[in-house]
Structure 1
Amino acid sequence: MISLRKLSLQRGSKILFDNIDLTIHAGQKIGVTGANGSGKSTLFALFRGEIHSDKGDLDMPSRLEIAHVAQETPALDVSAIDFVLDGDRELREVEAALRQAEDAHNGELIAELHARFDNIEGYSAKSRAARMLHGLGFSPEQFDKPVAVFSGGWRMRLNLAQALMCRSDLLLLDEPTNHLDLDAVLWLEQWLKSYPGTLLLISHDRDFLDNTVNAIAHVEHQQITLYTGNYADFERQRAARLALQQSAFEKQQREVAHLHSYIDRFRASATKARQAQSRIKALERMEMIAAAHVDSPFYFSFRAAESTPNPVIRLEEVSAGYADNPILKGINFSLEAGARIGLLGANGAGKSTLIKTLAGELPVVAGKRIEGKDLRIGYFAQHQLEQLRPEESPLQHLQRLDSSARESELRNFLGGFNFRGEAALGPVAPFSGGEKSRLALALLIWQRPNLLLLDEPTNHLDLEMRHALTLALQDYEGALVVVSHDRHLLRATTDRFLLTANGVVSPFDGDLDDYRRWRAEQSSAEPASNGGDKSQEVDRKARKRVEAEERNRLAVLRKPIEAKIKKLEKEIESYTAEKTRLDSLLADADIYLDEKKELLKTSLMQQAKVTEQLHQAEEAWLEQHAALEEILLPETQ
């Protein structure tokens, strides 16, 4: 168990945490959310011992093995797979001790170390590392390549694999999906579900949080509030809390107005189409999530395009990629006005190649690319962030695009992307990745495109900006093609998918859940990789039968636990509602009048009782989830 007691922490003149109490139980999986700059990464630094609190206590078990993802990777000559194996520190220690014992011809120690090596699964370590690399998108040919040959994004994947290789008690992940594609995100999601230790996860990907955590620690107003459940549960609970807060505020305002009225009277007496479908989805969710996003600093919409060709663009018998290496062949594709398409496919299958070809950034190897009349493309990709002028301000970037626009109009527009005051006038050079992404999107939106091509637009964007972008895309009337690992964005803004696989672009008949199943089937059909060696193929029908029997066995074990979890969730919901009612009642000044003494006494007793009941139900919920994960662990390994 990890406890923060009355903890306060200040960085420079900014107070990040003020008198915080927080308890994290072993095995909990907690998503850490909050606005940029609220202190999420600082909290991780505190757990790693890199900084210390100004007041209060942080209690952590001794000999706690903590794993985190390094932000930098030097250009090392060590191979990718050895770099990942370095994450298992005990493994490397035993290997080094074995070499010394063998050099000293110490037979007894050698036997002890071999036993220890076996206990820590040292003989299968290389196989585990290979599976991690494969899951994160590395091909077997890349396993033995030196770290130095990989680009920055791929080195971040290596850092992630190294952190996962560590047999840790506490795993700290800060935006682990930023450099991953959808397939790697799906793999990581499954890996984290089976992780037996305590997980703290900072992420702006709501689907990823929904599928990996069982609690949310929200950092806000120098406090950390722990919510039970996943991100969707957190949004509902926070929305209810904000609504209650607003209700209490309005009641207080009525009381203030009543007092003012009374004083004034006293003085007076003394002296005298498709988009419609997307909108329907948004409306269905509006009640649930609107209150949770009332304090978002972002608001913007796409300006209507001056004209819209139809079809927008056509590809006829196109081969795309490079002259000596076409990645996609025989593409016949007509993009109609108003089309909303998501691209799916494994890493390297050609998603970005197709988008670049549509954008005209990559000339076709063969065939024809035909643009509609007055086509105006808005293309967003990560490399475009490098094209921003470091010495110029956001306002100057926008003025370059439209010198005739009034400065006040441009500044109002930039304000929707949270570039206000000095942020709109200062140079871009010190901007974070998220701020640069916001600016690149702002520049793209100002140009009124009738075709939007988005390649991972949510990288570095926080949850509030992703929410604002999703709503803006739902309103967008032009054609849209998007590649994203953010499944919420894909679900909310697209109405069909194309799959790039085996050098071909084809319609994908299904949703994202179907795609997850399809990828799982593809992976099970591939020979397992064990450090580059191919295992023998087993009889597929026999394997399917064994898998079905195992699923049935697990279903029998899961059913009573899942029933208990469902019952406990209803109890938690009931206790939470009752506690909210009592909190509201006790916040009313009238209850403290003499004539309501009995009601006050009863309410205080009820509040204490329901608080204890809620705590017990939450503890039981966590225990049942731990039991369920123990059953599911072999299934997901």
Structure 2
Amino acid sequence: MSKSVINIVNVSKSFVNKILLDKVNLLIEEKSKIGMIGRNGAGKTTLIKILMGEEEADDGEVIFSDEVKIGYLSQGANFDETEKVIDYLMRATKKESWTCSKIASGFGIDHIKINYNIGDLSSGYRMRIKLAEMMLHEPNFLLLDEPSNFLDLNTLIDLENFLLDYKGGFLIVSHDREFLKTTCEKTIEIENGKITYFPADIEDYFEYKEEKEASIKKYNKNIEERKAHLERFIERFRYKATKAKSVQSRIKQMEKLKTIEITHPAKNVKIKLPAVQEKKGFAIISDNLNIGYDKKIVAESKRIEIFRGSKVAVLGQNGEGKTTFLRTISGRIKALSGNYNYAQGIKIAYFGEDTYKNITANDTVLSYLKKHAKQGLLHQELLTLLGSFLFSGDDINKDVKVLSGGEMARLSLLSAITQCADVLILDEPTNHLDFETVETLANSLKDYMGTIFFTSHDRTFTSLLADTIIEIKDKKISLYSGDYDSYVYKTRLEALKEEEEEIKFQNNNNNNKNDINENKNNSYEDRKKIRNKLSRCESLLKKSESQINDYKAEEKELLKFFEVSYDEEKSKRLLEIKKLIEKAENEWLAINEEIDDIKRLL
């Protein structure tokens, strides 16, 4: 039987007359892997801060077991940018260099990068340093508040792999549904001051919520029908003295009939975005484009052609040049050389950190949106859109100058979308949205008739929206031939290969440096790591097989269609599917080879 490590007892917390936590209770067991969800402002971060002692509860208490040792991934770090990674880890944790190197290697900080100056590393690698530092303190339960924010795909995959291998428990707050689905076995939702605990993953929880909502709707419908029946009786016999007793009885019955309020539906309604005219042909063509700053080339490309209506995800590790590329094609900075040309008459709207952090207008939320939105959009249409972007009630009359960073970002994003531009350029549009809004927005943007270029660290958003991928890697900008799932598979495979190489290096290093007992211990730990890598690789193989089967099923349906008819769009899709099948089969072979290589290490 598992021991409890954290016991939350009748904890309450309010801010400015808003109840965030209302006598909540929760018992967390030692090896629980829990994902915590909830809308923006629901109280998730507040609960984490209460657990860490950074804030005090208004009432109630938190009881920790004597055995628990909490690891907390803080948002800040006392980095000295001129300090080497290894020196910082040794200073911050008081551990020996070989121990620091070994733990750091588990987060993709190999024997080369461990000797880099911290200032020379991207934000993704700085997060890896913080994770390594946290684990060098040897915690047995982790509290992670939005650990996936601003992480590139490679770093996120390393974090997932670490959490899948981790033997202790953890509580993760995240807006990334895919990340929670991969790493967590249980789900907590904070809503209206209360905590709902569900003993399964997020997908099962949402299925449960939908079933519960359907049951409540059915119950409410029955209640309304019974009320209507009683009302008809009351109206018919209200003024008949002989029926007075019966009428009073029916009135009392009706007063007892109460419907159940659905405060937070399992699925949001679709966000109805303003219409944009559909146009054919190319949206943008670039030739020999070099991008960068101050004559320093960040990345370069040959010819890239993007059709109108494409939804283009710009992918790559942090620091490779994704934002630089978007700022270049939006005209915010100049290309170093080469050129890009949009189709004639195209209007562009841009959203990025530099747009929302510089809002200084003397406007309310509503007047700011009206000023930037396309003329002709109805007042009610703007109000509905503001509600979809989490501005409701008195929020629309707030002065822009007093908005939080998250509110500024949401308003700026909405103002870009309501310009009804032919090309939308969105740099991290999902960072300040809860995941229900993220998914609803992605589905709505799919139907947007314009062209969209975007970066996002949210895999669910990218998977739902992207139909075209531009990859920026090793200073090269290029079109990726597969879909997003294929890109994720490729990235996972590369991560496995890198880990395998580092394990080989660490083994050789340990054999040279450590005595026999240490070698035995390290050999055991490394074999355990290799088995975990093998398990993940085999899981990847199953996903690859499933993807191939899906592609082949679609190919079969298309071929059936062409037996009786012809369609140009379906013909294009058939060619795409054939290429995707070939690519997926090559990846399947690569994964099999990787499995063989890993097995040879055991």
For residues 496-535 of structure 1, what are the structure 2 equivalents within 5 Å?
496-523=468-495
CA shift, 1:218, in A, is 0.9
Q: Is the 8 A contact 1:7 1:54 kept in 2?
A: no
CA shift, 1:373, in A, is 0.9
- 2:446 aligns with 474
- 1:331 counterpart = 2:302: yes
CA–CA distance in structure 1, aligned partners of residues 239 and 59 of structure 2: 52
- 2:66 aligns with 62
**SS of match in other structure, 1:482:** strand
- 1:24 aligns with 28
CA shift, 1:174, in A, is 0.9
- 1:370 aligns with 341
Q: Amino acid of the residue matched to residue 159 of structure 2?
A: L
Q: Is the 8 A contact 1:528 1:534 kept in 2?
A: no
CA shift, 1:309, in A, is 6.4
Closer, same or farther: CA 292–458 of 1 in aligned 2, 3 Å = farther
Q: Is the 8 A contact 2:439 2:460 kept in 1?
A: no
Q: Is the 8 A contact 2:388 2:437 kept in 1?
A: no
> 319-328 or 183-192, which moves further after superposition?
319-328
Q: Amino acid of the residue matched to residue 35 of structure 2?
A: G
Deviations 1:6-52 (A, max 9, x none): 51413243333334332221111101111222221122122223445
CA–CA distance in structure 2, aligned partners of residues 292 and 31 of structure 1: 21
- 1:182 aligns with 153
- 2:230 aligns with 259
Q: Is the 8 A contact 2:71 2:137 kept in 1?
A: yes
- 1:36 aligns with 40
CA shift, 1:216, in A, is 0.5
CA–CA distance in structure 1, aligned partners of residues 411 and 148 of structure 2: 21
Q: Is the 8 A contact 1:87 1:165 kept in 2?
A: no
CA shift, 1:212, in A, is 0.6
Q: Amino acid of the residue matched to residue 245 of structure 1?
A: I
Equivalent residue in structure 1 for 2:14, among 2, 8, 11:
11
Q: Is the 8 A contact 2:90 2:100 kept in 1?
A: yes
**SS of match in other structure, 2:282:** coil
Q: Amino acid of the residue matched to residue 328 of structure 1?
A: A
Q: Is the 8 A contact 1:528 1:535 kept in 2?
A: no
Task: Normalising by structure 2, report the TM-score.
Answer: 0.72
For residues 141-180 of structure 1, what are the structure 2 equivalents within 5 Å?
144-145=116-117, 158-180=129-151
- 1:287 aligns with none
Name stretches of at least 5 consecutive residues in structure 2 with no aligned partner.
244-261, 510-525, 543-598
CA–CA distance in structure 2, aligned partners of residues 408 and 354 of structure 1: 36
- 1:543 aligns with none
For residues 225-374 of structure 1, what are the structure 2 equivalents within 5 Å?
225-270=196-241, 294=265, 300-305=271-276, 308=279, 310-322=281-293, 324-374=295-345
Closer, same or farther: CA 304–15 of 1 in aligned 2, 3 Å = closer
For residues 31-110 of structure 1, what are the structure 2 equivalents within 5 Å?
31-73=35-77, 76=80, 79-85=84-90, 88=93, 92=94
CA–CA distance in structure 2, aligned partners of residues 392 and 140 of structure 1: 51
Q: Is the 8 A contact 2:467 2:483 kept in 1?
A: no
CA–CA distance in structure 2, aligned partners of residues 467 and 188 of structure 1: 23
CA–CA distance in structure 1, aligned partners of residues 229 and 27 of structure 2: 42
Equivalent residue in structure 2 for 1:487, among 437, 451, 459:
459
Equivalent residue in structure 2 for 1:440, among 395, 406, 412:
412
Equivalent residue in structure 1 for 2:389, among 387, 406, 417:
417
> 299-308 or 226-235, which moves further after superposition?
299-308
CA shift, 1:475, in A, is 1.5
- 1:125 counterpart = 2:100: yes
Closer, same or farther: CA 256–171 of 1 in aligned 2, 3 Å = same
Deviations 1:186-210 (A, max 9, x none): 2111111112221111100000010
- 1:281 aligns with none
Deviations 1:342-381 (A, max 9, x none): 2332333333333233222232222221121111112222
- 1:385 counterpart = 2:340: no
Deviations 1:558-580 (A, max 9, x none): 99xx9xxxxxxxxxxxxxxxxxx
- 1:566 aligns with none
- 1:134 aligns with 109
Equivalent residue in structure 2 for 1:428, among 394, 400, 405:
400
CA–CA distance in structure 2, aligned partners of residues 239 and 486 of structure 1: 23
CA shift, 1:244, in A, is 1.6
**SS of match in other structure, 1:253:** helix
CA–CA distance in structure 1, aligned partners of residues 137 and 366 of structure 2: 46
- 2:545 aligns with none
Closer, same or farther: CA 334–554 of 1 in aligned 2, 3 Å = closer
CA shift, 1:529, in A, is 6.5
- 1:569 aligns with none
**SS of match in other structure, 1:191:** helix
Percent identical among aligned pairs is: 28
Paired residues, what number? Answer: 500
Structure with higher RCO (Cα < 8 A, 6+ apart): 1
Q: Amino acid of the residue matched to residue 407 of structure 2?
A: E
CA–CA distance in structure 2, aligned partners of residues 525 and 552 of structure 1: 13
Closer, same or farther: CA 533–10 of 1 in aligned 2, 3 Å = closer
CA–CA distance in structure 1, aligned partners of residues 316 and 332 of structure 2: 21
- 1:627 aligns with none
Closer, same or farther: CA 466–161 of 1 in aligned 2, 3 Å = farther
What is the RMSD computed on CA atoms of the aligned residues? 4.1
**SS of match in other structure, 2:221:** helix
Q: Is the 8 A contact 2:14 2:21 kept in 1?
A: no
CA–CA distance in structure 1, aligned partners of residues 323 and 19 of structure 2: 43
Q: Amino acid of the residue matched to residue 63 of structure 2?
A: D
**SS of match in other structure, 1:505:** strand
> 21-30 or 315-324, which moves further after superposition?
315-324
Q: Is the 8 A contact 1:239 1:292 kept in 2?
A: no
CA–CA distance in structure 1, aligned partners of residues 350 and 132 of structure 2: 31
Closer, same or farther: CA 56–399 of 1 in aligned 2, 3 Å = closer
**SS of match in other structure, 1:200:** strand
CA–CA distance in structure 2, aligned partners of residues 133 and 36 of structure 1: 32
- 1:462 aligns with 434
CA–CA distance in structure 1, aligned partners of residues 121 and 399 of structure 2: 31
Name stretches of at least 5 consecutive residues in structure 1 with no aligned partner.
96-116, 273-290, 537-545, 563-633
**SS of match in other structure, 1:355:** helix
Closer, same or farther: CA 491–478 of 1 in aligned 2, 3 Å = same
Deviations 1:486-511 (A, max 9, x none): 12112211223232223333333334
CA–CA distance in structure 1, aligned partners of residues 374 and 489 of structure 2: 51
CA shift, 1:417, in A, is 2.0
Q: Amino acid of the residue matched to residue 221 of structure 1?
A: N
Equivalent residue in structure 1 for 2:166, among 175, 192, 195:
195
Closer, same or farther: CA 445–404 of 1 in aligned 2, 3 Å = closer
- 1:214 aligns with 185
CA–CA distance in structure 1, aligned partners of residues 431 and 495 of structure 2: 26
**SS of match in other structure, 1:362:** coil
Deviations 1:255-282 (A, max 9, x none): 333333333333143399xxxxxxxxxx
Closer, same or farther: CA 194–403 of 1 in aligned 2, 3 Å = closer
CA–CA distance in structure 1, aligned partners of residues 21 and 281 of structure 2: 55
Q: Amino acid of the residue matched to residue 297 of structure 2?
A: P
